[in-house]
Structure 1
Amino acid sequence: MKIFRIYTTWLQFSRALQIIRVLTKHAFREWFYRTKMGKRRLRRHPKAQLDVRTTPERVRLTIEELGPTYIKFGQILADRPDIISERFRIELKKLQSKAIPIDDDTAVKLIEDELNDSIDNVFAYFDHRCLAAASIGQVYQGRLHTGEEVIVKIQRPHIISKIKLDIYLMHFVAKQLVKNYPDLVAINVLGFISEFQDKIMKELDYTVEASNIKRFEFMFKNDPTVHIPAVHMEYSTRKLLIMEKIVGITPDNIQRLKTEGYDLHQVAVNGANALLKMILEEGFFHGDPHPGNLFVLPNNVVGFIDFGMVGVLRPREMSFLAQFCMGFVRRDTRAIASSLLTLCDVKFFDQTEDMEFQIDQILKQYGHLTIEEIDFSKVMQDCINLVVLFQLKIPSGIFMLAKSLATLQKFAGNLDPDIALTPIVLPYAKKLVLTRFSPRKVAASIYDTAMDYVNLVNTLPSTVNEILYKIKEGTMHHQVHIDEKNPVTRVLRNIGYRMVSAILIIGVFVGSSILIVNTPERPYGKFALYMSSCIIVFLLLKALFARKK
């Protein structure tokens, strides 16, 4: 056990040194090219211009060099306007998860270890050449003995321990930062890192992705316009995922789609319907629907891949969507503001009028357009940005939702520049509103509220009697918890220090007086008396002058 602890400590120390080396290198370069010496070097050596970066660019390069954990962390930060500024977000969106592939023989050995069988026994054909490599996994292709073409995704070796180590260091640094800079508590750095840890650990478990695929497969089982790849659960493990290979054209390859006779407008509509069904009907959606994760199949069918990152909407967030859609259709600023406050779980907000005014200004930008012509995703993103300006806390899933809607708008707009997203959104929005505010739902809500009041009436007398009895018997106990960072705690601590100091000084003064009376020949008694007397006089003068001020 001790050897393991020593080994773990050594790994943490060596990784911390590696991180410090990367940070120091990029920080030094950032500083050097701002000095006179650096500027002189730039004038004398034009090639050095290639090493000059803006601060956001330098941050991105640092993150890329730190590895997969920090790349994923940066990608999530890029979608969080409540944490970092726009110029950093724009740069962090350039982060790529591409990585140098591991040796193919090593990857095959890992696959066989997970299968607990040889490649030849499971696959009729297996391509030993890596098809794609990312920061967490590596992808191959093959064909099962049953004749099905499949994609094989294997996790990189030791990636879990590396990421756990990085997250541990992140937590450690974040705790020190919050301790030394209390203002960081406002943006909940520790909470964000914990949330990131939860997300990335789910991505590292391929059984979670397989479960997501099965859920989407069930969702679209009766929809011929959407294709979800089948997953082979009998072969899949936490580190290995085997699923159906989708052969199609990526939606950003417009020229090829036109050449092969696809109906681009219908493809855009099918993709929009698929994502809107996920969001507004199921509250469970693909978290990263960019063109690399989409394929266009024959008959204008849209296929999805890569289900490691998904968004899940809680009941409160679904209520927000229903209220927001209702306010959007009616252009009702009060309803939209109410939906945003519902989202943030705020009942009383003293800046509601200001928020409604700002929302009204957003809607007036589209005053010359019909509701069908307004960009629904843009209005929602603007309103979310507005909430961030008011420093209200937004559930993290909403940022993923806004990103997915923006990606949907871009996907549909690239395929058909004349397409309007709002007419596609409206039927789903109306259905959501009818579902959330149906007579049955309203009646159920009223019934639950009434039952709460009935329970309150039933339990209140006995609760009051218990409290009064405990007060009468003197057995009532109160537990008071004061935060260490609370100003009250600091005042109490200072008072305690002063009292202890006063007791010590008086003790020295009294003790030295006794020593002088009993043993006048010992000099240290007089020295202690003189020193304690000087300190007491100094403190008295300090207290007198402080009162006069």
Structure 2
Amino acid sequence: MQIVKILLKHAMREWFYRSRLGRSYLRHQMRRHPKAQLQVHTTPERVRITIEELGPTYIKFGQILADRPDMISERFRLELKKLQSTAYPFDDSTAIKLIQDELGAVLEAVFAEFDTHCLAAASIGQVYQARLVTGEEVVVKIQRPHIEKKIRLDLYLMHYIAKQFVKNYPELAAINVVGFIDEFEDKIHRELDYTQEAANIRRFEFMFQNDSTVHIPKVFTQYTTHRLLVMEKITGITPDHLDKLKEGGYDMHQIAVNGANILLKMILEEGFFHADPHPGNLFILPGNVIGMIDFGMVGVLRPREMNFLAQFSVGLVRQDARAIASALLTLCDVKFYDRTEDLEFSLDQLLKQYRHLSIEEIDFSKMVQDCLNVVISFKLKIPSGIFMLAKAVASLEKFAGQLDPTISITPLILPYAKNLVMQRYTPRKIASSIYDTLMDYVTLINTLPGSVNEILYKLKEGTVHHQVHIDDQNPVTRVLRLIGSRVTAALLIIGVFVGSSIMIINTPERPYGLFALYFSSVLILLLLIKVLFGRKK
């Protein structure tokens, strides 16, 4: 009910200020109070405010959507980037009870010390600091009560709204709104399972076991459950406290290089990376070592996506538009593209903006984003993991740039990229590629006669079917669909109005009838206002 009230409130305000009546009201107010500043939000601002009021699930959804230029316009993306995950802590006594329930024991049996005051609160969990009976300093993350049920309801509503939008506006099917929500659902379910985060930590720990420049916290799997995570506490200085780092005698340049190499190894060697490396998730430890926390959101790259980044990096250094176009088409899994020359020309025009710069001066993350924007303009489908990758690289450049403004990421990427490209041409890889190609031809030769015979037989029997497709973009089809939907909506509203009136007369003690009457009356009033004062098309 709360979600419906929030959506109705903002939808009615948006409709009012976009209607003729609303615009007349604004002009009247401006004439009466010419010096007054009226608080009239733009559509992107109202969308952001609505998302903030809807709660944590929608805020996280909006934050992910802000990194998808293929789905929303730039002005909406810039506004959604302002979303902040502000979460208020829940009751400490409730949290301690939940922790004991997950442990199956009282706190004293596991912890020698336990700070009962919340250390930090997030949208999904709440964090406490403690010391195990074995002496290790740890942080304890407990999931919010009933958060799974709430997120499940939010996701159900998101799916329903998305399907209705696609049904009423078929052109939205091209950007796959429902598919995006499916991806978001998978990500948030992974974040809800703390055993998954523990597995991520163990994987990173193994990845960097021989690297002294990074510290991955130890996870205590014997105490970790689906809703509880116990891990080593990292104490250090966050990268945004530059004064403290300088006072401590840290080497800013070396920290920036270490951070870049850590993320580049994740991306270009392992294809498994921390997807949110912002300063709040990083700590600088003695010896310029970088400690990392919060492994709930990770990115996983397919070999095709890793190869794209390597080919793209080499093409960027060589200022080769053809190589970059080939890398982008491979990324989009397009083998034969009839607009390849146009794509190469657009990329060449983009590269000309950077040709006066040296490799050290090129903003790598911006160049990646600019090229992705070109691909989006050609209506090509980009794998969603690449947008998470672009965000991680942008965070890396920002992190390194704050520590050492003279450092450039592009020269650091190049050795990793060249190594990845060379791996494609090892004797084993070449032999494997030749073998796969030969097997494809053998399969084609074996199956071709049978396929031809089947087609000829169906032609002879007259059982070949033709598929007829009615174009949803046809103006007549769209008008008929619009008329049908409006007639259906009007009948439903009138039905609710009449039914609620009958319910109030027969069963006045039940509140549902009164609510339905008020709700349908408001809708009927809005429709009348729209008919009387709406803008004529």
- Name the TM tier (shorter chain): 0.7 to 0.9
Indicate the residue corresponding to 1:84 in structure 2: 72
Q: Classify the secondary structure of the residue corresponding to 1:346.
A: coil
The whole-number CA distance in structure 1 between the counterparts of 2:106 and 2:212 is: 37
Indicate the residue corresponding to 1:229 in structure 2: 217
Q: Are the counterparts in 1 of residues 285 and 291 from structure 2 also a CA contact under 8 Å?
A: yes
Q: Structure 1: which 5+ residue stretches go unaligned?
A: 1-13, 495-549
RMSD after superposition: 2.6
The whole-number CA distance in structure 2 between the counterparts of 1:212 and 1:479 is: 50
| CA spacing shift, 1:487–1:287, aligned 2, 3 Å | closer
1:113-128 equivalences under 5 Å are 113-128=101-116
| CA spacing shift, 1:327–1:101, aligned 2, 3 Å | same
Q: What one-letter code is carried by the residue in structure 2 that aligns with 1:23? A: H
Indicate the residue corresponding to 1:317 in structure 2: 305
Q: Identify which of 450, 457, 460 aligns with 2:448.
A: 460
The whole-number CA distance in structure 1 between the counterparts of 2:37 and 2:47 is: 17
1:517-528 equivalences under 5 Å are none
CA shift, 1:373, in A, is: 3.6
Indicate the residue corresponding to 1:199 in structure 2: 187
Q: Are the counterparts in 1 of residues 129 and 139 from structure 2 also a CA contact under 8 Å?
A: yes
Q: Classify the secondary structure of the residue corresponding to 1:150.
A: strand
The whole-number CA distance in structure 2 between the counterparts of 1:480 and 1:226 is: 61
| CA spacing shift, 1:26–1:102, aligned 2, 3 Å | farther
Q: Are the counterparts in 1 of residues 458 and 464 from structure 2 also a CA contact under 8 Å?
A: no
Deviates more, 1:22-31 or 1:226-235: 22-31
Deviates more, 1:40-49 or 1:64-73: 40-49
1:112-151 equivalences under 5 Å are 112-151=100-139
The whole-number CA distance in structure 2 between the counterparts of 1:93 and 1:235 is: 36
Indicate the residue corresponding to 2:207 in structure 1: 219
TM-score w.r.t. structure 1 length? 0.81
Q: Identify which of 153, 160, 181 aligns with 1:165.
A: 153
Q: Are the counterparts in 2 of residues 22 and 66 from structure 1 also a CA contact under 8 Å?
A: no
Q: Classify the secondary structure of the residue corresponding to 2:200.
A: helix
1:154-303 equivalences under 5 Å are 154-303=142-291
Q: Are the counterparts in 2 of residues 284 and 313 from structure 1 also a CA contact under 8 Å?
A: yes
Q: Structure 2: which 5+ residue stretches go unaligned?
A: 481-537
Q: Classify the secondary structure of the residue corresponding to 1:299.
A: coil
The whole-number CA distance in structure 1 between the counterparts of 2:41 and 2:10 is: 15
| CA spacing shift, 1:487–1:404, aligned 2, 3 Å | closer
Deviates more, 1:175-184 or 1:354-363: 354-363
TM-score w.r.t. structure 2 length? 0.83
Indicate the residue corresponding to 1:398 in structure 2: 386
Q: What one-letter code is carried by the residue in structure 2 that aligns with 1:240? A: L
Q: Classify the secondary structure of the residue corresponding to 2:250.
A: coil
Indicate the residue corresponding to 2:326 in structure 1: 338
| CA spacing shift, 1:467–1:377, aligned 2, 3 Å | same
| CA spacing shift, 1:480–1:244, aligned 2, 3 Å | farther
The whole-number CA distance in structure 1 between the counterparts of 2:407 and 2:196 is: 35
Indicate the residue corresponding to 1:427 in structure 2: 415
Q: What one-letter code is carried by the residue in structure 2 that aligns with 1:252? A: D
| CA spacing shift, 1:249–1:481, aligned 2, 3 Å | farther
Deviates more, 1:359-368 or 1:110-119: 359-368
| CA spacing shift, 1:182–1:249, aligned 2, 3 Å | same
1:66-77 equivalences under 5 Å are 66-77=54-65
The whole-number CA distance in structure 1 between the counterparts of 2:146 and 2:44 is: 30
Indicate the residue corresponding to 2:372 in structure 1: 384
| CA spacing shift, 1:230–1:316, aligned 2, 3 Å | same
CA shift, 1:482, in A, is: 5.9
Listed one character per residue, the Cα deviations across residues 297-337 of structure 1 (whole Å, up to 9, x for unaligned) are: 11000111111111111122122123212322322110100
The whole-number CA distance in structure 2 between the counterparts of 1:321 and 1:450 is: 28
| CA spacing shift, 1:47–1:255, aligned 2, 3 Å | farther
Listed one character per residue, the Cα deviations across residues 174-221 of structure 1 (whole Å, up to 9, x for unaligned) are: 111111111111111111111111111111111111111111111101
- Pair 1:20 & 2:7 matched: yes
Q: Are the counterparts in 2 of residues 325 and 433 from structure 1 also a CA contact under 8 Å?
A: no
